[in-house]
């Protein structure tokens, strides 16, 4: 029987899709839809500098509705002229790979987070832990 996962590094996702500040919402919306992600870390090189969520994108779209333009034309213009840097959360709660799974779960629950980027020294992004990772763990522990 395999050892029970104990640390964030045991269950985090290591293959990441990331954004850069200078990308526009057109690419962001496409990426979220194409890959089925709800959280995308924003990086400068390997360093985590922010996070964009599906909720952030929804807020930007809803708060910018313009009744005088057709919805399609307005949305296209909005997506081209707003950039990740304007939308991203800069104060991001993170964990290290050696944080316990229980601590990460408590932080996500207590602060109502859907994910926690996983960083090493100097804020180097090495993974992300999401609600889905915890559901996968529950399934594993409960048995198929």
The residues near 32 (Cβ < 8 Å, ≥ 6 apart) are: 38, 40, 54, 57
Q: Which domain holds residue 134?
A: 8-142
Give this prediction's pTM: 0.83
pLDDT at 30 over 50: yes
Domain CATH code at residue 22: 3.10.580.10
The angle, 0 to 180 degrees and rounded to 10, between the axes of the packed helices 101-110 and 131-142 is 130
pLDDT at 102 over 80: yes
Number of folded domains that form the chain: 1
116 assigned to some structural domain: yes
Whole-number pLDDT of residue 139: 93
61 SS3 class: helix
Round to whole Å and give the CA distance between 8 and 99.
6
pLDDT in tens, 41-97: 999 999 999 999 888 877 766 444 455 545 466 666 666 778 889 889 999 999 999
């Amino acid at each position: 029987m395999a050892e029970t996962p104990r640390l964030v590094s045991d269950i985090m996702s290591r293959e990441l899709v990331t954004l850069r500040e200078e990308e526009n919402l057109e690419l962001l919306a496409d990426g979220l839809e194409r890959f089925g992600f709800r959280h995308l870390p924003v990086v400068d090189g390997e360093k985590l500098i922010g996070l964009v969520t599906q909720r952030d994108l929804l807020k930007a779209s809803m708060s910018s509705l313009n009744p005088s333009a057709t919805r399609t034309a307005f949305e296209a213009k909005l997506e081209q002229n707003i950039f990740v840097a304007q939308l991203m959360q800069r104060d991001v709660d993170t964990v290290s790979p050696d944080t316990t799974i229980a601590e990460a779960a408590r932080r996500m629950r207590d602060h109502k987070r859907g994910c926690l980027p996983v960083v090493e020294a100097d804020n180097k992004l090495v993974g992300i832990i999401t609600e889905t990772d915890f559901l996968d763990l529950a399934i594993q522990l409960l048995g198929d």
